[in-house]
């Protein structure tokens, strides 16, 4: 459609905004696991797996927000979200809307997309290249 053809020039900026906003949401999940911030009514018990997940989510989210080592970090985080889905959500119910895993699936596939698409605009990776 002619109306949308001009938007293609903003693809790097849109990808950069997607990366940053997804990373900021992901950082919250890590900080809640590690520091109970934002405060949760049911704080996470810091088991080895929860601590590892929290560190990946917090540190990986920061790296993604900065656009630093985007592809390898996104690959790691996509794997973490796939594991989280199949360990924590899938056993509850087959359907993601019923097992609460739709966000884990969304994160997984956004991160997988970043592996292939790169960091987009506003990234430190662009300065390193």
d(CA 4, CA 40): 42
* 29-39: pLDDT as tens digits: 999 999 999 99
Question: Which burial class, exposed, middle or buried, applies to 48 when counting CB atoms under 10 A from its CB (0-12, 13-18, 19+)?
Answer: exposed
Residue 5 is predicted with a pLDDT of 87
Task: Tell me the pTM.
Answer: 0.93
Give a three-class secondary structure readout of 47-90: CHHHHHHHHHHHHHHHHHHHCCCHHHHHHHHHHHHHHHHHHHHC
Residue 129 is predicted with a pLDDT of 62
Residue 55 is predicted with a pLDDT of 97
Angle of helix 48-66 relative to helix 11-35, nearest 10 degrees, comes to 150
Q: First vs last Cα of the chain: how many Å apart?
A: 34
Those residues of the chain that have pLDDT short of 70 are: 129
Residue 15 is predicted with a pLDDT of 98
Q: Decide if 83 contacts 53 (C-beta within 8 A).
A: no
């Amino acid at each position: 459609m002619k109306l949308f053809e001009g938007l293609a020039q903003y693809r790097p900026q849109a990808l950069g905004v997607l990366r940053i906003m997804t990373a900021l949401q992901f950082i919250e999940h890590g900080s809640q696991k590690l520091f109970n911030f934002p405060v949760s009514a049911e704080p996470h018990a810091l088991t080895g797996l929860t601590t590892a997940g929290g560190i990946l989510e917090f540190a990986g989210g920061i790296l993604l927000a900065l656009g630093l080592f985007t592809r390898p970090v996104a690959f790691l985080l996509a794997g973490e979200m796939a594991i989280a889905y199949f360990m924590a959500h899938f056993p509850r119910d087959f359907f993601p809307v019923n097992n609460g895993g739709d966000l884990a699936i969304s994160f997984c596939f956004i991160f997988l997309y970043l592996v292939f698409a790169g960091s987009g605009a506003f990234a430190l990776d662009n300065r390193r290249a």
